[in-house]
Amino acid sequence: MVAPVPSLQIPAVKTTSADALAALVAAPALGAVGLIFNRATQLGPAATAGWRLLFSLVLTGWKIRTLPPRALWGWLGLAGLFYAIDLALWYAAILRTSLMSATLIINIYPALVALLAWPLLGEKPTRRLAVGLGLTLVGGAVVALRPEAAGGSRALADEAAWGAILVLGAAFAYAVYTVVTSRVTAELGSTTAIFWTNLLAMPLLFGVTLVSGEATKITTWAALWPVVGLAVFGGLAQLSFAYALQRLPAAFAAMGSHLSLIFTGLVGWAIYSEPITLEHLIGATLIIGGLIWAKERRKG
C-alpha cells in the first residue's frame, strides 16, 4: 500500500532553488513572446486582457476542485483588482509607446515591491538587496538610453508620453499584485492562486469595455488567434512567476522582471528588425549581475 503524499509545507523563510530560478527566467521570456500577439490584436486593451484571462483559465481550471478558505477571499479579490488594472493599463500603453521604453518603465516596480513587502510581508530589504536592485535599474537605464529604445521618431512624442504615464500606473498596480500574490501562493499554491485571481479579474476587465465602448467581440480568426496566443504565453508567464514567488522572497523575485529587457530586445530584433547594440549587452550584464549579487549570501 502506497503511503499518502504529505501536504506541501511552505517554509517561513523562503530560499532560492534551481527550479524557482528557472521559473523566474521563464516568466519574462514567455511574456516577451506574448508581446507579438499583443501588437497583432484587433480588440481594445481591456477586451484583449479579458479574453486572455478567459482562455487562460483553461490552463489552470482543470485541476481546481475546492473553493479557497474564506479568510483568503479578501486577498484574492485584491490580487484580482490590481491585476486587472495592471493588464488594462499595460495593454493600452504598449500600443502607444515602444516595446523597449514600456518595458523599462514597468521595471521600476521591483522598488515598489521592496517597499510594500516590508510592511505587508515582513521582508525587510537588506543592503545586498538594495545594491542588487540598484544595479538592475542602472542596467535597465543603459538599455533605454539608446535612441531606438525611446521610439526613434519624435512624430508621436505626445502619444508615447501618454503611454509612459499608463505604464507608470501599471507598474504600481503590478507591484501591489506581486506582494499580494506572494501572500496568497504561500497558502494555496501557484496554480490555485492564479486561477482564482484570473477569475476575479476577468469580469472587471469586461466591465471596463462596457464603459469605454472598445471593440470586444471575436468574430473572425484574425481576431481570435492573437488572443489565444496571449492566453497561452501570458498564462504560462503568470504561472511561472507565481511559482517563483512561492519559493523566493518577493523583492528578489520582482527583480527577475528586469530580464524582460533582454528578452524584449531579442523579440524586437527577431520580429521588428531592431538591432541589439553594445548598450543592450552592457545593460544585460548589469541586470544579471544585480540578480546574482542580490541572491548571494554572506558566509556565516
Per-residue pLDDT reduced to its tens digit, 153-186: 455 566 767 777 888 889 889 988 988 888 788 7
Report the distance separating Cα 96 and Cα 84, nearest Å. Answer: 19
Report the distance separating Cα 159 and Cα 96, nearest Å. Answer: 6
Angstrom CA distances, 293 to 129, 130, 182, 262, 297, stand at: 8, 10, 22, 18, 8
Q: Is 63 helix (H, G, I), strand (E, B) or coil?
A: coil
- Report the pLDDT value the prediction gives residue 199, as an integer from 0 to 100: 93
Please, which pLDDT band fits residue 262 given cuts at 50, 70 and 90? confident
Q: Quick check: 99 and 164 in contact, CB under 8 A? A: no
Q: Quick check: 239 and 198 in contact, CB under 8 A? A: no
- Report the pLDDT value the prediction gives residue 15, as an integer from 0 to 100: 53
Q: 16: exposed, middle or buried (C-beta count within 10 Å: 0-12, 13-18, 19+)?
A: middle
Please identify which residue in the block is written with the cell numbers 531579442. 266
Please, which pLDDT band fits residue 84 given cuts at 50, 70 and 90? very high
Q: Quick check: 111 and 185 in contact, CB under 8 A? A: no
Of 107, 69, 81, which Cα lies nearest the Cα of 208? 81
**Over residues 40-57, mean pLDDT:** 87
Rg (CA), the chain: 19
pTM of the model: 0.74
For residue 167, the surrounding DSSP H or E stretch is helix 157-188
Per-residue cell: 57: 483559465
Residues 6+ positions from 300 with CB-CB distance below 8 Å: none
Report the distance separating Cα 217 and Cα 149, nearest Å. Answer: 33
Q: 293: exposed, middle or buried (C-beta count within 10 Å: 0-12, 13-18, 19+)?
A: middle
**Over residues 85-104, mean pLDDT:** 82
Q: With a cut of 70, say whether residue 284 has pLDDT above it.
A: yes
Of 8, 2, 173, which Cα lies nearest the Cα of 85? 173
Pick the more confident residue, 76 or 103: 76
The DSSP code for 189 is -
Question: ∠ CA(64), CA(171), CA(179), 5° rounding?
Answer: 45
**Over residues 6-27, mean pLDDT:** 63
Per-residue cell: 64: 481546481
Per-residue cell: 89: 493599463
What is the CB-side half-sphere exposure of residue 49 using CA atoms within 13 A? 30
Q: Quick check: 94 and 38 in contact, CB under 8 A? A: yes
CA dihedral (148, 290, 113, 117) in degrees, to 10, reads 180
- Report the pLDDT value the prediction gives residue 157, as an integer from 0 to 100: 60
Report the distance separating Cα 121 and Cα 114, nearest Å. Answer: 10
pLDDT digits (tens, 9 = 90+) for 111-129: 677 777 777 767 777 788 7
